């Protein structure tokens, strides 16, 4: 075979090799196209799943925070923002313990047991928002682990239980008050009968001691003591078994205005200034005017006694359209229809007095609890009973040495 034939043969082999190479390239491109389509499809599916997961996280009513083992925040949902007040951008990559100013995540070392974060034990702490509002946050920890059961991070579930805790305390207090009310009524009836006899015998003894000033003075002291005890017993009975309520339309704003006028002279004598701001437009309620006056009088006297050196008392009214489900729980169930907003009129009585400690505030409505030397500790219990009998609610906000604000809320009625 000569050289030319060899060259021709080589060209044919090379040509077939190029053709085979081109065919392979085409096949590779075809496979590449299919692979790219599959990757795009998987990316789309992954994107949809991520979006679904994000939607689920954002729709949760509880705050959900995910952090790595160092405590750096990776996920911070909408509810967590609502509870803490921090935006997602503020929280992202921040240390969870430093952000919430509490040791949420304990120190994690290599080889830490996953069970440490899997007991779902509920813990609570007090958190102060940037606005100054104090709330109680309940949280649980859940381990985020790999397929090999290696600890990757921690899921923190947050829940604002401030209102729930208040409602539980109110329910417990009402149960205590009911039991104590029954005891008080029985004791009051047992004491009142001998008191009447004492008063009768003292009045007879007075007739025989007109000419003896010393004995007459002693009889007067006994009578005064009997009247004081009778007043305490009357309060006990009013607390335990309130008199039937006369239901009529009351112009609450007008009633409060008249009470303020009546009280101004008494306030001036103690160097107390009364300020008022009546802003309510719907101001009729249904109830007993005399009992409502008793509420105002009890709260006014308490405010004056909290300011022995003088100060200011504010009386204000306004309308509230209450829609918060937690706040609506304060009112009777028959008033809350399918979660619709409740039209309320609020009366705010605020003083600049000594305020209350947390313990005093917690026990305000407990019968026989008082900080006054001669107080019976029944005034605020009676106030609460009257308010509840009018389907209303009372809220106390007080800080030691900064004063007390008491908000009364009643269902507003039309004049008709």
Are residue 122 and residue 254 in the same domain, yes or no?
no
- The set of residues, in sequence order, having a beta carbon less than 8 Å from that of 206 and lying 6+ positions away, is 216, 219, 223
Are residue 170 and residue 152 in the same domain, yes or no?
no
Does residue 192 fall inside a structural domain?
A: yes
Are residue 256 and residue 395 in the same domain, yes or no?
yes
Final residue belonging to a domain, choices 221, 240, 259 = 240
Give the strands of the sheet with 123-128, arranged side by side: 73-76, 63-68, 151-160, 134-145, 123-128
Instruction: Please report, for the domain that includes residue 369, its CATH number.
Output: 3.30.565.10
Are residue 353 and residue 399 in the same domain, yes or no?
yes
User: How many domains, the chain?
Assistant: 3
Least confident of 100-109, 234-243, 295-304: 234-243
In tens, the pLDDT along 319-364 reads 988 888 878 888 887 887 776 888 899 999 999 999 998 888 888 8
Final residue belonging to a domain, choices 160, 180, 196 = 160
Please give the Cα distance from 232 to 192 (Å, whole number).
10
Mean pLDDT for 41-58 is 72
For residue 166, name the pLDDT band (cuts at 50, 70, 90): confident
Mean pLDDT for 57-71 is 83
Are residue 72 and residue 203 in the same domain, yes or no?
no
Q: To the nearest whole number, what is the mean pLDDT of the chain?
A: 81
Beta strands 311-322 and 272-278 are parallel
216 lies in which domain range?
A: 165-240
Final residue belonging to a domain, choices 138, 160, 182 = 160
Are residue 391 and residue 321 in the same domain, yes or no?
yes
Are residue 308 and residue 236 in the same domain, yes or no?
no
Are residue 182 and residue 267 in the same domain, yes or no?
no
Residue with more model confidence, 305 or 212:
305
In tens, the pLDDT along 337-347 reads 776 888 899 99
Are residue 253 and residue 338 in the same domain, yes or no?
yes
Does residue 13 fall inside a structural domain?
A: no
Check residue 382 and give its pLDDT.
82
Are residue 272 and residue 127 in the same domain, yes or no?
no
Residue pointed to by tokens 């997602």: 88
Tell me how long the chain is: 416
Check residue 155 and give its pLDDT.
87
Residue 53 above 70 pLDDT?
Answer: no
Instruction: Please report, for the domain that includes residue 80, its CATH number.
Output: 3.30.450.20
Check residue 311 and give its pLDDT.
93
For residue 374, name the pLDDT band (cuts at 50, 70, 90): low
Are residue 179 and residue 315 in the same domain, yes or no?
no
Are residue 286 and residue 337 in the same domain, yes or no?
yes
Please give the Cα distance from 31 to 372 (Å, whole number).
90
């Amino acid at each position: 075979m000569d050289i030319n034939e060899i060259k021709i043969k080589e060209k044919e082999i090379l040509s077939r090799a190029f053709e085979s190479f081109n065919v392979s390239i085409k096949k590779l491109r075809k496979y590449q196209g299919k692979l790219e389509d599959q990757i795009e499809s998987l990316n789309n599916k992954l994107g949809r799943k991520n979006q679904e997961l994000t939607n689920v996280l954002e729709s949760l009513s509880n705050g959900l925070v995910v952090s790595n083992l160092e405590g750096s925040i990776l996920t911070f949902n909408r509810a967590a923002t609502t509870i803490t007040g921090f935006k997602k951008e503020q929280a992202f990559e921040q240390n969870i313990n430093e952000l919430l100013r509490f040791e949420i995540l304990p120190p994690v070392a290599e080889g830490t047991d996953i069970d440490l974060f899997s007991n779902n034990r509920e813990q609570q702490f007090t958190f102060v928002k940037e606005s100054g509002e104090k709330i109680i946050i309940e949280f649980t920890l859940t381990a985020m682990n790999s397929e090999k059961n290696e600890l990757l991070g921690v899921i923190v579930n947050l829940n604002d239980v401030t209102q729930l805790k208040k409602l539980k305390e109110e329910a417990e207090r009402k149960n205590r008050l009911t039991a104590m009310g029954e005891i008080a009524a029985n004791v009051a009836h047992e004491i009142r009968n001998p008191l009447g006899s004492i008063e009768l015998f003292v009045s007879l003894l007075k007739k025989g001691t007109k000419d003896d000033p010393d004995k007459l003075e002693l009889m007067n002291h006994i009578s005064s003591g009997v009247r004081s005890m009778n007043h305490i017993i009357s309060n006990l009975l009013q607390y335990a078994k309130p008199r039937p309520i006369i239901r009529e339309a009351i112009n609450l704003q007008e009633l409060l205005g008249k009470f303020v006028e009546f009280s101004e002279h008494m306030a001036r004598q103690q160097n107390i200034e009364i300020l008022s701001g009546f802003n309510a437009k719907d101001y009729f309620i249904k109830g007993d005017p005399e009992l409502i006056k008793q509420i105002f009088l009890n709260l006014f006297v308490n405010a004056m006694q909290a300011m022995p050196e003088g100060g200011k008392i504010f009386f204000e009214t306004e309308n509230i359209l209450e829609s918060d489900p937690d706040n609506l729980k304060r009112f009777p169930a028959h008033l809350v229809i399918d979660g619709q907003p409740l039209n309320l009129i609020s009366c705010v009585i605020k003083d600049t007095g000594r305020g209350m400690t947390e313990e005093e505030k917690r026990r305000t409505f407990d019968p026989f609890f008082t900080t006054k030397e001669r107080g019976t500790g029944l005034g605020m219990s009676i106030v609460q009973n009257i308010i509840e009998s009018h389907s209303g609610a009372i809220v106390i906000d007080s800080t030691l040495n900064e004063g007390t604000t008491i908000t009364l809320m009643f269902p507003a009625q039309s004049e008709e």
